[in-house]
Structure 1
Amino acid sequence: MLLSRWLPGLANLLHYRREWFHADLQAGLSVAAIQIPIAIAYAQIVGLPPQYGLYACILPMMVYALVGSSRQLMVGPDAATCAMVAGAIAPLALGDPSRLAQLSVIVTILVGLMLIGAGLARAGFIASFFSRPILIGYLNGIGLSLLAGQLGKVLGFQIEGNGFILSLINLLQRLEEIHWVTLSIGLIGLALLIWLPRRFPRLPAALVTVVLATLVVGVFGLDRFGVAILGPVPAGMPELAWPKTNLEEMKSLLRDALGIATVSFCSAMLTARSFAARHGYAINANHEFLALGVTNIAAGISQGFAVSGADSRTAVNDMVGGKSQLVGIIAALVIAMILLFFTAPMAWIPQAALGAVLLMAGWGLIDVKSLGKIYKLSRFEFWLCVLTTVGVLGVGVLPGIIIAVTLAILRLLYSIYQPTDAVLGWVPGVEGQVDIEGHKDARTVKGLVVYRFDDAILFFNADYFKMRLLEAVQRELEPRAVLFDAEAVSSIDVSGIAALREVRETLEARGIHFGIARARGRFLRMLVRSGIAREMENGMLFGSVRSGIRAYRLWRNRMRREAMTE
């Protein structure tokens, strides 16, 4: 139990099934084939030599495989976090490469500590604001971004635009620059990636494609004809060393580390939850904070830089059919072996083949079918999904998600501000109470208004609750009592208590009795704390609507008998 709580990845590996190994081996090799060039490229964003990108993969991938709870998530360098790391350390390094490497280690460890702190503070509730439409919209946006970002590699030129729209415009403007040999390699690579899984499902299609393309480029020397290749990568493992800093640098890096930690968690959590939903299991957000924090500390002590959930590599893992966290360990070991012994052949990997693999991964992220289902169920959530996609493409991953989540929260607040309510009645043959507005043949008890409010009563809807209840009473010809069905009221605050007291006093001033049925949870506790429960101890708090109606009928009959005796 303790092991599954703190090391869920290790706990899963201890119950590993032998039949998973073939799929995990294929996925691990495929992920490594994609992780290597991406890590090298992202190291250049930070301003570090290419080998530092590989350092940021090996130990972090192994650590997350043991500590993380996602069976699909691959960790590694991420474009957004790399750009933020570069912005944090470049002004402080002043062009000194060794200082740049030291500062990247410091900020990465700070990010890890902040993430661990957030996990211990149980801040994982943040992930609950990422609804399924937002997750689908996010993946669609990431998929389209991958498509736009990798087309340049397949076409034979580097896209210069920043962002999806500018990249697409730049791509369309430069179509005459297509390098046909590179395009041929890319198209053949795409054809292999489509055909191989259908014809030979057990072969690692991504790895086979990259290896074949590398052999063709190397044997025929296609780099002499303008085909872009990866180029030389220095060999060797990192030398562990603790960097030095001062108080002023720490103040600056702490501020930047907070932003990097936020982006890192949001990116990783969205990817992890999206793929977990596809495979039918849940992700513990609080634990993911801890796992990602430990992973970043591992990246820091191994001379790497801040890492996050790697959406493209996770997509490749899922596409190939990885079954467990062993995929990350295999990929890390492959990267370590290549970094030690096989950096020379890596130089011949054609960028077009890597672009083709990422194009297929991006295409696999786009979920049009779910968009159609969401449209049928809820137009608002459909447009929320589309807006998330547009936001990710237009203003970036984090701003786009923040916009979508903000709109979702505003919609939630609006629904709470004016929740549904009902005056209840009964229809013969129908169990329980019904809304008399939707059932014209519903019966009511003469003189009694049974009113239901379908949400919490809080400061921003307390007046609305008061207004709606009094309006319901006004519609009754000769109201003598009101029974408030509070089953749906999960909570109430001070303003709500004040409104409830005002309702009761207003009704009593008009000679109308007020009772509450089915009070429970926080609502009932607040009634007790406020003294309303004590004030209503004369039988006006009821365990059910039926008992409240029974009490009203007994009281009404007693009043009739007393009137007749007089």
Structure 2
Amino acid sequence: MIDRLTRIAPGLTKLLSYSFAEDFRHDLLAGVSVAAVALPVAIAYAQLAGFNPVVGLYSSILPLVAYAIFGTSRQMIVNPDAAVGAMVAAAVAPLAGGNAELYWSLSVAVTFLAGMFCIVASFFRLGALAEFLSKPILVGLLNGVAISICLGQAGKLLGFSIESKRVIPQLLEIFAKLPQTQIPTLIVGAASLAILFGLARWVPRLPTAPIILIAAGAAVALFGLDRYGVSILGSVPGGAPPLRLPRIPEGDIPSVLGSAAGLALVLFSSGMLTARSFASKGGYEIDTDRELAAFGAANLASALSQGFAVTGADSRTAVAVAAGGRTQVTGLVAAVTITAVLLFLTGPLRYVPTAALGALLVFASISLFDTQTLREIWSIDRTEVGLAVITTLGVVALGAINGILIAVGLALVRFVKLTARPRDEVLGTVDGLPGLHSIERHPDARTFPGLVLYRFDGPLTFFNSDYFKTRTLAVAEAAGPELRWFVIDAIPISQIDITGLYALRDLRGRLESRGASLILAGRKAEFLEWFREAGLYRPEHETWILPTLRQALKAYLRAAQPVAPLNQDDL
């Protein structure tokens, strides 16, 4: 029973053995600190996604509880996120057609379905999907989201609304409306940005989000800035969220399902980056398949409480760690604190100016924009930088979901290309260097008359077998008529199917017609076992499958004659 509970709800089993005496005082302080940051950030992200501010609070309570029960990270804080909020808005806004009630309902539906996709994927142990969005794609996604957020918040900082949804129209609209700039709003927004950057530069440990919103709200209340045209949040309804089922127009179901699938992939990939980063620093392991279920449960909890999509929140997780949080109880304390504010303390939130929220979102978006990683990737592989830039441009021009689909499509094409056309090389010895090395990278490498040592860096399957035959025969042709042994390094050949087997047989026949023999080096036990399982084993296999390339080289140098011809049905 305990083992089953551990598999389903690993966090719950840890909570059942929780040590109040040792951990609670640390988790209590950390949980209150997390709530202090999460409250204003959730309100800001709710506005970013186009919701009433209270929806951000709805999204910040039950997901914390769900993750504490089902998650495997003892430090992760699951909360609304700028990138995920922007994706929800981009996916739902075109379907809602300006209907606020339908917009909210569709957002809840997308969140619910994204959670379901995560849970179903966990049953199939698809936690490896976390690696599907590569680092360049995620960097490009966040950079594109950062640009979109900055432009989307410009109107709040300048005091006018921006109706356009795409970057170029937004820029044109902003320039056209600059004469309408509301000076008091601009002052509030600029002052908020200056304080945010100043605190981050000089006092980086301070929780800047609550400080700036408290200060801006106090300024509005004391000086009546709303009477001078400064827009404020206004009344924020308290109490529990209304419980109701989301409504999806029948014609929008395919779009909602597609958006939910893309959202599930992004929120899980992004959240796993946060989880793995903090797990590595904390010296513990996480289970990707159980994390997939935990993210699904957190989003189901958010949808059931009428919230929008959530993921691992790096800023709030960092606050939890810096404040000394030790276990998932930190998230539970934060949830209780936010609930208390939602039930009893929403009144003061009405004075928060929207310009300060816009400044907070611009500040967050700038922190999302990552040029350092792009420079690092550039120094390693410039093609990957191109993938990141295409993702950024796709997000900016077409929206987050479509940008991701484009990037994933390009990544798939590149993956297929790398797998179908893997690198291959002829090997030789290099004076002063142990082992065997590519003669292309080492022009002074020594080769041996009558012998080719060949490496094919990939599986040998149906989608690259023709390429394999073409490349090996070209190498054999280049070796000339004196070729006697063609040795293939079998170590990189991680998989072989029936088409690959036929390719080896055809290659062997072509080589024998030239008076040469085919030798495999490495994975001897695996190949022999494979032949036995397939019913193709012959005693001769013991002689032409050698343990290593080095032994193949030594055997060739010792041999007075090439190995004996092989029967056609040996392979």
Q: TM-score interval w.r.t. the shorter chain?
A: 0.7 to 0.9
Residue 401 (structure 2) pairs with residue 394 (structure 1): no
1:449 — aligned with what?
452
1:268 — aligned with what?
267
Measure the CA separation in 2 of the matches of 1:528 and 1:473.
Answer: 29
What stretches of structure 1 of length at least 5 have no aligned partner?
A: 560-566
> Is the CA contact 2:64–2:331 (under 8 Å) kept in the aligned structure 1?
yes
> In 2 relative to 1, CA 266–100 (structure 1 residues): closer, same or farther, beyond 3 Å?
closer
What letter is aligned with 1:28? A
Deviates more, 1:155-164 or 1:516-525: 516-525
- Alpha-carbon deviation of 1:543? 0.9
Residue 345 (structure 2) pairs with residue 342 (structure 1): yes
Classify the secondary structure of the residue corresponding to 2:433: coil
Measure the CA separation in 2 of the matches of 1:166 and 1:524.
Answer: 65
What stretches of structure 2 of length at least 5 have no aligned partner?
A: 564-571
2:213 — aligned with what?
210
Residue 483 (structure 2) pairs with residue 479 (structure 1): yes
> In 2 relative to 1, CA 284–261 (structure 1 residues): closer, same or farther, beyond 3 Å?
farther
TM-score norm. by structure 2 comes to: 0.82
> In 2 relative to 1, CA 266–340 (structure 1 residues): closer, same or farther, beyond 3 Å?
same
Which of 510, 515, 519 lines up with 1:511 in the alignment? 515
1:154 — aligned with what?
157
2:309 — aligned with what?
307
Deviates more, 1:316-325 or 1:331-340: 316-325
2:227 — aligned with what?
224
1:465 — aligned with what?
468
2:556 — aligned with what?
552
Which of 361, 364, 382 lines up with 1:361 in the alignment? 364
- Alpha-carbon deviation of 1:364? 1.1
> In 2 relative to 1, CA 113–449 (structure 1 residues): closer, same or farther, beyond 3 Å?
closer
- Alpha-carbon deviation of 1:51? 4.7
Deviates more, 1:392-401 or 1:408-417: 408-417
Classify the secondary structure of the residue corresponding to 1:515: strand
1:78 — aligned with what?
85
> Is the CA contact 1:457–1:496 (under 8 Å) kept in the aligned structure 2?
yes
Deviation track 1:360-396 (CA, whole Å, cap 9, x = no partner) reads 1111111212222221211101111222222221212
> Is the CA contact 1:497–1:530 (under 8 Å) kept in the aligned structure 2?
no
1:186 — aligned with what?
189
- Alpha-carbon deviation of 1:182? 0.8
What letter is aligned with 2:553? I
> Is the CA contact 1:27–1:204 (under 8 Å) kept in the aligned structure 2?
no
> Is the CA contact 1:154–1:352 (under 8 Å) kept in the aligned structure 2?
yes
Measure the CA separation in 1 of the matches of 2:213 and 2:488.
Answer: 69
> In 2 relative to 1, CA 306–358 (structure 1 residues): closer, same or farther, beyond 3 Å?
closer
- Alpha-carbon deviation of 1:440? 4.3
- Alpha-carbon deviation of 1:453? 1.5
> In 2 relative to 1, CA 476–171 (structure 1 residues): closer, same or farther, beyond 3 Å?
same
Residue 267 (structure 2) pairs with residue 287 (structure 1): no
Measure the CA separation in 2 of the matches of 1:293 and 1:27.
Answer: 22
- Alpha-carbon deviation of 1:185? 0.9
> In 2 relative to 1, CA 279–520 (structure 1 residues): closer, same or farther, beyond 3 Å?
farther
Residue 438 (structure 2) pairs with residue 409 (structure 1): no
Deviates more, 1:280-289 or 1:488-497: 280-289
> Is the CA contact 2:108–2:246 (under 8 Å) kept in the aligned structure 1?
no
Spell out the pairing of 1:410-429 with structure 2 (5 A cutoff): 410-429=413-432
- Alpha-carbon deviation of 1:306? 4.4
Spell out the pairing of 1:51-130 with structure 2 (5 A cutoff): 51=54, 54-69=57-72, 71-72=75-76, 74-76=78-80, 78-81=85-88, 84=91, 109-130=112-133
> In 2 relative to 1, CA 373–103 (structure 1 residues): closer, same or farther, beyond 3 Å?
closer
Identity within the alignment, %: 36
Measure the CA separation in 2 of the matches of 1:170 and 1:469.
Answer: 60
What letter is aligned with 2:549? V
Deviation track 1:449-501 (CA, whole Å, cap 9, x = no partner) reads 22222221222321221122222222234122222221111112222111111
Measure the CA separation in 1 of the matches of 2:413 and 2:527.
Answer: 24
> In 2 relative to 1, CA 213–533 (structure 1 residues): closer, same or farther, beyond 3 Å?
same
Measure the CA separation in 2 of the matches of 1:538 and 1:317.
Answer: 57
> Is the CA contact 1:159–1:170 (under 8 Å) kept in the aligned structure 2?
yes
Measure the CA separation in 1 of the matches of 2:474 and 2:222.
Answer: 85
- Alpha-carbon deviation of 1:176? 1.4
- Alpha-carbon deviation of 1:210? 0.6
> Is the CA contact 1:492–1:522 (under 8 Å) kept in the aligned structure 2?
no
Classify the secondary structure of the residue corresponding to 2:193: helix
> In 2 relative to 1, CA 345–318 (structure 1 residues): closer, same or farther, beyond 3 Å?
same
- Alpha-carbon deviation of 1:350? 0.4
- Alpha-carbon deviation of 1:56? 3.6
What letter is aligned with 2:452? V
Classify the secondary structure of the residue corresponding to 2:160: coil
Measure the CA separation in 2 of the matches of 1:54 and 1:39.
Answer: 8
> Is the CA contact 1:425–1:442 (under 8 Å) kept in the aligned structure 2?
yes
What letter is aligned with 2:505? R
> In 2 relative to 1, CA 79–428 (structure 1 residues): closer, same or farther, beyond 3 Å?
closer
> Is the CA contact 2:196–2:212 (under 8 Å) kept in the aligned structure 1?
yes
Measure the CA separation in 2 of the matches of 1:535 and 1:21.
Answer: 70
Which of 368, 372, 377 lines up with 1:374 in the alignment? 377
Measure the CA separation in 2 of the matches of 1:375 and 1:106.
Answer: 39
Deviates more, 1:396-405 or 1:70-79: 70-79
> Is the CA contact 2:423–2:457 (under 8 Å) kept in the aligned structure 1?
yes
Classify the secondary structure of the residue corresponding to 2:560: helix
- Alpha-carbon deviation of 1:211? 0.7
Measure the CA separation in 2 of the matches of 1:200 and 1:96.
Answer: 40
Deviates more, 1:68-77 or 1:152-161: 68-77
Measure the CA separation in 1 of the matches of 2:90 and 2:437.
Answer: 57
- Alpha-carbon deviation of 1:413? 2.4
> Is the CA contact 1:42–1:53 (under 8 Å) kept in the aligned structure 2?
no
> Is the CA contact 2:117–2:261 (under 8 Å) kept in the aligned structure 1?
no
- Alpha-carbon deviation of 1:228? 0.4
- Alpha-carbon deviation of 1:341? 1.5
Which of 535, 541, 545 lines up with 1:537 in the alignment? 541
- Alpha-carbon deviation of 1:266? 2.5
> In 2 relative to 1, CA 138–216 (structure 1 residues): closer, same or farther, beyond 3 Å?
same
> In 2 relative to 1, CA 195–11 (structure 1 residues): closer, same or farther, beyond 3 Å?
farther
- Alpha-carbon deviation of 1:17? 8.5
Spell out the pairing of 1:217-256 with structure 2 (5 A cutoff): 217-238=220-241, 255=254
Measure the CA separation in 1 of the matches of 2:318 and 2:368.
Answer: 10
Deviates more, 1:3-12 or 1:356-365: 3-12
> In 2 relative to 1, CA 443–532 (structure 1 residues): closer, same or farther, beyond 3 Å?
farther
Deviation track 1:265-284 (CA, whole Å, cap 9, x = no partner) reads 22312432443465563764
Deviation track 1:391-436 (CA, whole Å, cap 9, x = no partner) reads 2212122221222232223223223333222232223433122233
2:567 — aligned with what?
none
> Is the CA contact 1:266–1:398 (under 8 Å) kept in the aligned structure 2?
no
- Alpha-carbon deviation of 1:40? 6.1
> Is the CA contact 1:56–1:306 (under 8 Å) kept in the aligned structure 2?
yes
1:34 — aligned with what?
41
Measure the CA separation in 1 of the matches of 2:397 and 2:63.
Answer: 31
> Is the CA contact 1:124–1:285 (under 8 Å) kept in the aligned structure 2?
yes
